[in-house]
């Protein structure tokens, strides 16, 4: 098979697969840790069914927050509008917005979960503990997402790597793992299983 050279450039399927697949395998190995934590909490998930319902959101939301912040930071680096100066007040607006988004969305998660818990599982856990679990794990993940986003964007910028290509997937997956592990840990502590 003759592959047209040059015309397709980075759109050639072999170059896309060749660039991405090794990264996907590495990321899978990292996230596997989250999976082991999840399965080890099997008894808790059987007793408190609502925890299983919260799992996909806990896996994704930290990564979503990290992705929003990372892409904003990398755009600012590309535009040369920031030098990561702690006196840069726009950076603090970004951080504050991420924390506010986390507080809002994890409160909403607790409300949604409590409603499902009430309707389907006879309110086994109740709103109070769900809010505590959701907010403590959610806000911890948000802080981790912020720290990782800054470190990765700044680090890749310094090393001359485009943060859009590799660091954002890495940051979001690492934050996903923390989301899972922290969620199971906090649930264990609050519900005692």
Partner 1 sequence: MSVRRDFWSIYREALPILFVALGGGLFAGLVLEELVESIQRFPGLFVMIPVFLATRGNVYGALGGRIASGLHQGLIEPRFDWSDRLVNAVLASFINGIGISVVIGFLTWVVLEWVLRWEAVAALSELVGIMLVAGVLTSFVMIAGLLAIIFAGYRYGYDPDNLVGPIVTTLGDIFGMLFMLFAVLLVGAIL
Is residue 60 part of the contact set for partner 1 (CB under 8 A)?
Answer: yes
Question: Which one, 158 or 174, has the nearer CB to partner 1?
Answer: 174
Contacts with partner 1 in 101-140 (CB under 8 A)? 101, 104-105, 108-109, 112-113, 116, 120
Is residue 161 part of the contact set for partner 1 (CB under 8 A)?
Answer: no
In the block, which residue shows the tokens 């485009």? 162
Is residue 49 part of the contact set for partner 1 (CB under 8 A)?
Answer: yes
In the block, which residue shows the tokens 């397709």? 8
Q: What is the DSSP string of 72-141?
A: HHHHHHHHT-----TT-HHHHHHHHHHHHHHHHHHHHHHHHHHHHHHHHSTTSS-HHHHHHHHHHHHHHH
Q: How far is the CB of 165 from partner 1 (least distance, A)?
A: 9
Of positions 57, 70, 167, 187, contacts partner 1 by CB under 8 A: 57
- Tell me how far apart the alpha carbons of residues 37 and 160 are, in angstroms, rounded to a whole number: 35
Question: Which one, 140 or 169, has the nearer CB to partner 1?
Answer: 169
Q: How far is the CB of 132 from partner 1 (least distance, A)?
A: 18
- Write down how long the chain is: 193
The DSSP code for 8 is S
Contacts with partner 1 in 13-42 (CB under 8 A)? 13, 16-17, 20-21, 23-25, 27-29, 31-32, 34-36, 38-39, 42
Token pair for residue 183? Answer: 């969620």
- Tell me how far apart the alpha carbons of residues 53 and 187 are, in angstroms, rounded to a whole number: 13
Question: Which one, 2 or 158, has the nearer CB to partner 1?
Answer: 2
CA 143 to chain centre: 11
Of positions 94, 137, 149, 187, contacts partner 1 by CB under 8 A: 94
In the block, which residue shows the tokens 């927050």? 65
Compute the Cα dihedral for 179, 185, 188, 189 and give only its sign. Answer: negative
Interface with partner 1 by CB under 8 A: which residues? 4, 7-8, 11-13, 16-17, 20-21, 23-25, 27-29, 31-32, 34-36, 38-39, 42, 45-46, 49, 52-57, 59-61, 63-64, 67-68, 72, 89-90, 92-94, 96-98, 100-101, 104-105, 108-109, 112-113, 116, 120, 164, 169, 172-173, 176-177, 180
């Amino acid at each position: 098979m003759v592959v047209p050279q040059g015309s397709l450039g980075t759109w050639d399927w072999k170059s896309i697969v060749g660039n991405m697949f090794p990264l996907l395998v590495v990321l899978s190995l990292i996230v596997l840790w989250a999976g082991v934590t999840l399965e080890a909490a099997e008894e808790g998930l059987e007793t408190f069914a609502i925890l299983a319902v919260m799992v996909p959101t806990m896996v994704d939301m930290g990564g979503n927050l990290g992705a929003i912040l990372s892409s904003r930071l990398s755009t600012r680096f590309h535009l040369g509008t920031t030098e990561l100066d702690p006196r840069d007040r726009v950076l603090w607006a970004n951080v504050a917005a991420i924390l506010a988004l986390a507080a809002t969305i994890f409160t909403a998660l607790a409300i949604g979960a409590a409603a499902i818990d009430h309707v389907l599982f006879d309110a086994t856990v109740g709103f109070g503990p769900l809010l505590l679990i959701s907010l403590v794990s959610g806000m911890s993940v948000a802080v981790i997402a912020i720290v990782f986003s800054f470190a990765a964007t700044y680090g890749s910028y310094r090393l001359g790597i485009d943060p859009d290509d590799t660091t954002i997937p890495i940051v979001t997956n690492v934050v996903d793992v923390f989301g899972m592990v922290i969620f199971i840990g906090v649930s264990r502590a609050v519900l005692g299983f």
